[in-house]
Amino acid sequence: MNIESNIRLGKLFLILLHLVLLYVGFFAAYGVYEALSSTNDLLINHQLILITSLVAIVSFNLFDLYSSWKRKSIKNLVYSIVLALSTVCLINLGISWFSEVPLSSGLVLLVFAFQLFFIGGMHIPLWSIQKKNHGLKKVLIIGEDKGEDAGLAKKILKHQPGWFQVHGYTNVKNKNLTKSDLSVVDAVLISPSITEDKKAEMVQLISSNGKEIMVVPTFYNLLLTELKPEQIDDMLVYSLKPMVANKGTLQVKRLIDFVFSILIIIAASPIIIALFVLIPLTSRGPAIFKQERIGLHEKPYITYKFRSMVQDAEKLTGPVLASEHDPRITKLGRIMRALRLDELPQLFNVVKGDMSLVGPRPERDFFIKKFKKDIPEYEHRFAVKPGITGVAQVLANYTTTVEDKLRFDLLYVRNLSLILDIKILFQTLRVVLQREQAKGVADAEIEETQKKIKVMEQH
């Protein structure tokens, strides 16, 4: 049985376990509610239980609970479980209003509490077991650019605590890397700056010593993620299709963008109106900030955002990327940015067709020219419409570099699908609630990393 078959069986087992726990949560809630309300004839709506349990499975999938949580944050896991079950709770209320045996709001909330207890009570111990078995891995970094490799070490430290330890650093030109060096580490992280031939040599050496290999993909590697084996006569070839999404998928994506944007605008209209009034009252200038951005096929368009900075913020500095603690951001602007409320006017860009709900974040021509000069693969971002949210916004941090964000964007462009879009939209809710995702690594940890990097430089 191959790895993919094992993964599918594991997901199926987890789905069945979830169904059992969802039912247990329902019946436990019914029992407690009946006891508390002194009701002996409370009817159990089995059809509603079945429907909402299946809805819960879909919700769990959208919040990525069926992927591996190895090396991920316990906080992300808890947020995902709570948000997934909160979605189910709201659907429970909606469905029960139209069912023959409606559920009271108190019973629905009790169901939510018990299901949260049982589902969380299963996932958190499983995550803890994974961390115990796979955590505190000693990582050796192999590279050839000390500046870049120090950055990789910082990323390991910034990762969720308890999964990795930086053991040290060695240059790829080091000819004295031995089995004894590899015997004291659990994994090796290979820098993207290493050439492909040297990378292949390193992979052979490390794999022969039974160590885990972590490779930061080059942009060229990412373009090859969808290679398909084909045969020409008696020759095996790999076929790589161009980065062009299926027309049918794009048409449905456009329909979803239009309908959901209109619905969100209607639902958020009180907030939109309030910000239209508050922004000019709290800082000089208009509420709406207009700026030219580059969209699909590198065509310019005007984007709309709620102004979160002081008026004419770039008058003296020229085009500058916003930093985490940018002094130009107003007090109200910080709140809007934390809750992503400054992005709301971009829903009108989506309605117009300039943008999509999901896609790479739009950028200005000034920066794009600079990025393309340093990273030629940057142009592949324009194969799809820019989005209000995207993979980089869900998986990366505020301070993530342009190169690392581009890796996520290219992964999205290559794997674009409606299911992926829906998952990103749901997981954006978690990101909005987790403001700490933007925090950096502590100075003391950075100093410790720099000391550790010197450990193997003498080899």
| Shared-domain flag, residues 102 and 210 | no
State mean pLDDT over 44-69. 86
Pairing of strands 235-239, 356-358: unpaired
- For residues 157-177, one letter each, b for 16 or more C-beta atoms within 10 angstroms of the residue's C-beta and e for the rest, the string is bbeeeebbebbbbbbbebeeb
| Shared-domain flag, residues 61 and 125 | yes
Which has the closest alpha carbon to 390: 364, 415, 369? 415
| Shared-domain flag, residues 107 and 160 | no
Instruction: Classify residue 9: in a domain, yes or no.
Output: yes
Q: Is the pLDDT of residue 21 over 80?
A: yes
| Shared-domain flag, residues 258 and 229 | no
More confident: 440 or 369: 369
Instruction: Classify residue 447: in a domain, yes or no.
Output: yes
Residue 90 lies in domain: 3-133
Instruction: Classify residue 430: in a domain, yes or no.
Output: no
Which segment of 37-41, 136-140, 257-261, 402-406 scores lowest on mean pLDDT?
37-41
Instruction: Classify residue 422: in a domain, yes or no.
Output: no
Q: What is the pLDDT of residue 320?
A: 63
Find how far residue 414's CA is from the centre of its chain: 16
Instruction: Classify residue 23: in a domain, yes or no.
Output: yes
Q: In DSSP terms, which residues pair with 215 in a beta bridge? A: 190
Q: Is the pLDDT of residue 158 over 60?
A: yes
Which has the closest alpha carbon to 84: 50, 119, 49? 119
* Domains of the chain: total: 3
Per DSSP, the three-state class of 290 is strand
Q: What is the pLDDT of residue 5?
A: 64
State mean pLDDT over 264-287. 92
More confident: 269 or 173: 269
User: How many helices (H) and strands (E) in the chain?
Assistant: 17, 10
Per DSSP, the three-state class of 302 is strand
Which segment of 13-17, 203-207, 261-265 scores lowest on mean pLDDT?
203-207
| Shared-domain flag, residues 263 and 394 | yes
Q: Is the pLDDT of residue 446 over 50?
A: no
Model confidence at 223, pLDDT cuts 50, 70, 90, reads: confident
Q: What is the pLDDT of residue 397?
A: 75
Model confidence at 456, pLDDT cuts 50, 70, 90, reads: very low
Q: Is the pLDDT of residue 41 over 70?
A: no
Instruction: Classify residue 424: in a domain, yes or no.
Output: no
Does this model's pTM top 0.85? My answer is no
| Shared-domain flag, residues 298 and 378 | yes
| Shared-domain flag, residues 213 and 318 | no
| Shared-domain flag, residues 252 and 234 | no
CATH code at position 180: 3.40.50
| Shared-domain flag, residues 178 and 62 | no
Q: Is the dihedral angle over the CA atoms 155, 157, 160, 162 positive or is it negative?
A: positive
Which has the closest alpha carbon to 381: 402, 359, 400, 399? 359
Instruction: Classify residue 458: in a domain, yes or no.
Output: no
| Shared-domain flag, residues 357 and 235 | no
Q: Where are the alpha helices (DSSP H) in 38-183?
A: 46-62, 74-98, 105-134, 146-158, 179-183
Q: What is the pLDDT of residue 439?
A: 42
| Shared-domain flag, residues 308 and 395 | yes
Q: What is the pLDDT of residue 2?
A: 53
Model confidence at 459, pLDDT cuts 50, 70, 90, reads: very low
Q: Is the pLDDT of residue 399 over 80?
A: no
Q: What is the pLDDT of residue 325?
A: 65
Which has the closest alpha carbon to 412: 437, 434, 426, 394? 394
Q: What is the pLDDT of residue 115?
A: 94
The arrangement of strands across the sheet holding 212-215 comes to 164-171, 137-143, 187-190, 212-215
Instruction: Classify residue 252: in a domain, yes or no.
Output: yes
Contact 225, 215 (CB under 8 A): no
Which segment of 15-19, 197-201, 256-260, 441-445 scores lowest on mean pLDDT?
441-445
- H helix or E strand, kind and range, residue 22: helix 3-37
Domain-terminating residue out of 86, 118, 133: 133
Domain-terminating residue out of 133, 165, 198: 133
Pairing of strands 164-171, 137-143: parallel
Domain-terminating residue out of 99, 118, 133: 133
Mean pLDDT rounded to a whole number for the chain: 82
Q: What is the pLDDT of residue 107?
A: 85
**Residue 100 burial (CB < 10 Å; 0-12/13-18/19+)?**
exposed
| Shared-domain flag, residues 270 and 315 | yes
Q: What is the pLDDT of residue 458?
A: 42
